[in-house]
Amino acid sequence: MHHFRITFFFLVFSLFAKAQDSITFCQTLHNSHQLIQYYHIKPKPINDTLSQWVFNRFLNNLDPEYMYFTNGEVNKLAQHKNQLDDYIISAECSFITEFQNSYVNALERSLRIVRAIQPESLDFSGKDSITFNHPGNAYYEESEEDLTLIWLKKIRFLIIQHYLDSESKTPFENEKNIISHQVIQEELCQLEEKLELAQKSSSIVENQFLYAFTNYFDPHTSYFNNADKSSFEESVYDDYETTGLYFERTNGKVYVSYIQPGSSAWKLNSFEAGDEILRLASEQEVLELGCVSDETFANFIYNPSHKQITFSVKKINTSEVRHISVVKERTQVIENVIDSYLLKGNPTIGYIKLNSFYTSDEFGKGCANDFKDALMALEPQNLEALILDLRNNGGGSMDEAAKLVSLLINKGPISILNHKNNDKKVIRDFNSGRIFDNPLIVLVNEETASASEYTAAALQDHSAAIIIGTPTFGKGTSQQLFYIGKDEGSMGYVKITSEKMYRINGTTFQQQGVVPDISIVSLFSNLKNAERNYNNSIPPDTIIKNTYFKSPAPLNLTAVSKKSEARQKSQSEFQIIRQINDSLVRLSTQKQVYPLSMVGMLKRKTAYDKIWELSDQTTSPTKGFTIEYSKEMEKKLKHNEELSKQYTLKVKELNEDFQLIETYRIITDFLEEKK
């Protein structure tokens, strides 16, 4: 067994089950099964329950909108529904051929249906209707005729949506035929690409089965192909091999949306935002972008073997086609950058925004070290308090999270990690002292997850910070990434949930989240996108703690909390935010039926527009502070126009951030209480 480890939130190991000459789907499935049974924190038995769940998820992966397969085809495939466990155990994988053939046939039928649609005959009268948030279970249609009716509904919906999104002043009747041809062509493109890939190789169907099988054990255990793994690594490292180009798709075409300063593409000075990408080429393969899905495009860009990519580009201003070769270089990931500001007022407070818990290949580097540098740049001796903003931080490196916590507590246990077979490990900070002794506030929301929750929970347990915001996501598990074959990347990877995280009192934030000390209303609360809403999520539990720690007395926040609650009840901006949230919850959960017509779809659009128009009724509350840069950041911005534009936009957003403004008021009240 080869064993290689990097300490980060999704701890990475290398392993191979056994050496064989041929690399097959069956080997990948069998080895994934072996790894999950050996390393998963609570592996489920391979039985009929697994078979039924994986069967349904597998078909849903292949046909998520129930528009390819008929009910009869699904019933025929259902002969395997209670046999998948036996196939996995016995390494018998011939069943996949039947699914492959059925998928190809379904795509061919879908192409026939869409090719036969005549734009001029499409009915936009509203005789048909379309349902959103249907409370019942989705179902497969009985016949090709039924599928044709569903495709006709989808095409008409996309046509109307395209028109409404364009905000055209020309009447719909004058544009509908042009838009219809465009929408139908885009759907044909996508279907043709899927069919071509499925006919060339069974890997599309096989990968979807691997995703379904691994996902059965919990939402975060998953199969990764090489491109998945590269994308994942970009999210957890401070730098990564990349071209530095970012892209967006509009009306089926791919455009450059951003060129990262300092990257290899930026150094060439040959790209502009708005350039259209026509073709990609590496030494190994060529990808024409006429009919290419986002997944295929991303797989090409993230393919680790594509060290140099030649972009065929239609320039935005001249329509000249140029062929530009870009060599990937290690470049800082722009999402993994710490932002820091001074909230200058009475009091003066530091503000640090951490987007993810990224790590680094270089010893001593990573987000914890960058946090320390950012704090030092703010000259902490002049700060009366500090805000650490972990809103929308989805996690990352657990090692970095533990290092960050150790900077902000005195000393003692940070958390308890529990592995398989109740093998518990206490994570401790053995160093006395904190790098910041004044009040610390941690801002959280419903998208604060994993390592971010770990950090907030540990600081809350030590009474080292006031947690403000909304209950967090509720992901109290960590994962390990294994490569499956003899050699890394030869058969893909499997990410396995191998640890549960517990607070130092033995409780968990799994499914429950971290409950803030003081709540602030949020636009996006209660939208059922938390860990507890996954039907295969690992349930919460408690463990007997094997460490003694006398927790510091909790902070007395009663008076401060009451003042904040009174402000949020009385001030109009918070009433409007609560009203917007209530409306979003209602529209995203309640069944809605609209006529499939311009009038019907405009009614639906108007319902959402009215929600966001409510925000125009809010007026920015008196902040009591101005936002300033550190002296170090001022020097950087002075010599970088592009970076200066980015930070000007960021400051504008912070000036309109109601949660941040209320947090400043809470800190002000807290400091007054302490006097």
Q: Which H or E run includes 403?
A: helix 398-408
Q: What is the pLDDT of residue 336?
A: 60
The phi-psi region of residue 150 (left if phi > 0; otherwise alpha if psi is between -120 and 50; otherwise beta) is: alpha
Amino acid at the residue 672: E
With cut-offs at 50, 70 and 90, classify the pLDDT of residue 275. Answer: very high
Q: Which residues pair with 222 in a beta bridge?
A: 495
Segment 57-108, tens digit of pLDDT? 999 999 999 999 999 999 999 999 999 999 999 989 999 999 999 999 999 9
Answer whether residue 15 shows pLDDT above 60.
no
Answer yes or no: is 12 within a domain: no
Contact predicate 367/357, CB 8 Å: yes
Domain boundary among the residues 332, 355, 380 is at 332
Answer whether residue 309 shows pLDDT above 50.
yes
Q: 155 and 182 in one domain?
A: yes
Answer whether residue 18 shows pLDDT above 70.
no
Contact predicate 439/466, CB 8 Å: yes
Q: 343 and 326 in one domain?
A: no
Average pLDDT in the 267-276 region? Answer: 91
Reduce the DSSP state of residue 500 to 3 states and report it. Answer: strand
Domain boundary among the residues 332, 363, 392 is at 332
Query: Which is more confident, 22 or 228?
Result: 228
Answer whether residue 487 shows pLDDT above 80.
no
How many whole angstroms separate alpha carbon 415 and alpha carbon 9? 14
Contact predicate 338/310, CB 8 Å: no
Contact predicate 68/107, CB 8 Å: yes
DSSP class of residue 538 equals P
Answer yes or no: is 203 within a domain: yes
Q: Is 510 exposed, middle or buried (0-12, 13-18, 19+ CB in 10 A)?
A: buried
Choose the weakest-confidence range: 55-59, 204-208, 279-283, 361-365.
361-365
Global pTM?
0.88
Q: What is the pLDDT of residue 136?
A: 65
Answer yes or no: is 565 within a domain: no
User: Nearest 5°: phi and psi at 261?
Assistant: -55, 135
Q: 306 and 365 in one domain?
A: no
Q: 50 and 193 in one domain?
A: yes
How many whole angstroms separate alpha carbon 509 and alpha carbon 416? 12
How many whole angstroms separate alpha carbon 325 and alpha carbon 247? 16
Half-sphere exposure at residue 321, Cβ-oriented, CA atoms within 13 angstroms? 6
Answer yes or no: is 10 within a domain: no
How many whole angstroms separate alpha carbon 569 and alpha carbon 520? 11
Answer yes or no: is 164 within a domain: yes
Domain boundary among the residues 292, 316, 332 is at 332
Q: 327 and 384 in one domain?
A: no
How many whole angstroms separate alpha carbon 174 and alpha carbon 264? 45
With cut-offs at 50, 70 and 90, classify the pLDDT of residue 489. Answer: low
How many whole angstroms separate alpha carbon 621 and alpha carbon 155? 45
Q: 353 and 429 in one domain?
A: yes
| Tokens describing residue 646 | 């980015």
How would DSSP label each residue in 604-658? HHHHHHHHHHGGGG--PPP-SEEEE--HHHHHHHHT-HHHHHHHHHHHHHHHT-H
How many whole angstroms separate alpha carbon 656 and alpha carbon 621? 9
Q: What is the pLDDT of residue 238?
A: 60
Q: 538 and 665 in one domain?
A: yes
Answer whether residue 6 shows pLDDT above 60.
no
Choose the weakest-confidence range: 113-117, 348-352, 646-650.
646-650
Q: 503 and 383 in one domain?
A: yes
How many whole angstroms separate alpha carbon 639 and alpha carbon 644? 9
| Helices 598-613 and 572-589: angle between axes, nearest 10 degrees | 150
**Residue keyed to tokens 């249609």:** 141
Amino acid at the residue 615: S
**For the CA atoms of 428, 429, 431, 436, what is the dihedral angle to 10 degrees?**
-160
Contact predicate 28/210, CB 8 Å: yes
| Tokens describing residue 558 | 């009663």
Q: Is 538 exposed, middle or buried (0-12, 13-18, 19+ CB in 10 A)?
A: buried
Q: 121 and 195 in one domain?
A: yes
How many whole angstroms separate alpha carbon 427 and alpha carbon 455? 12
Q: 428 and 536 in one domain?
A: yes
Q: What is the pLDDT of residue 621?
A: 65
| Tokens describing residue 70 | 């008929």
Q: What is the pLDDT of residue 520?
A: 96
Q: How many structural domains compose the chain?
A: 3
Amino acid at the residue 234: E
Reduce the DSSP state of residue 483 to 3 states and report it. Answer: strand
Query: Which is more confident, 64 or 138?
Result: 64
How many whole angstroms separate alpha carbon 413 and alpha carbon 458? 9
Q: What is the pLDDT of residue 2?
A: 32
Q: What is the pLDDT of residue 345?
A: 94
**Residue keyed to tokens 């009306």:** 251
Answer yes or no: is 250 within a domain: yes
Strands (E), 8-100: 10-14
Q: Over the chain, what is the mean pLDDT?
A: 89
CATH of the domain at 517: 3.90.226.10
Residues 6 or more apart whose CB falls under 8 angstroms from that of 608 comprise 587
Q: Which H or E run includes 90?
A: helix 84-90
Answer yes or no: is 77 within a domain: yes
Answer whether residue 506 shows pLDDT above 50.
yes
DSSP class of residue 363 equals T
How many whole angstroms separate alpha carbon 657 and alpha carbon 356? 20
Answer whether residue 1 shows pLDDT above 70.
no
Q: 343 and 457 in one domain?
A: yes
How many whole angstroms separate alpha carbon 157 and alpha carbon 128? 11
Answer yes or no: is 443 within a domain: yes
Q: How many residues does the chain have?
A: 675
Answer whether residue 362 shows pLDDT above 90.
no
CATH of the domain at 265: 2.30.42.10
How would DSSP label each residue in 408-426? HSSSEEEEEEE-GGG-EEE
Q: What is the pLDDT of residue 430?
A: 76
Average pLDDT in the 627-640 region? Answer: 86
Contact predicate 31/23, CB 8 Å: no
Query: Which is more confident, 288 or 489?
Result: 288
Average pLDDT in the 426-454 region? Answer: 93
Q: 297 and 410 in one domain?
A: no
Q: What's the domain range around 513?
A: 339-477+498-557+621-674
How many whole angstroms separate alpha carbon 542 and alpha carbon 331? 42
Q: What is the pLDDT of residue 298?
A: 87
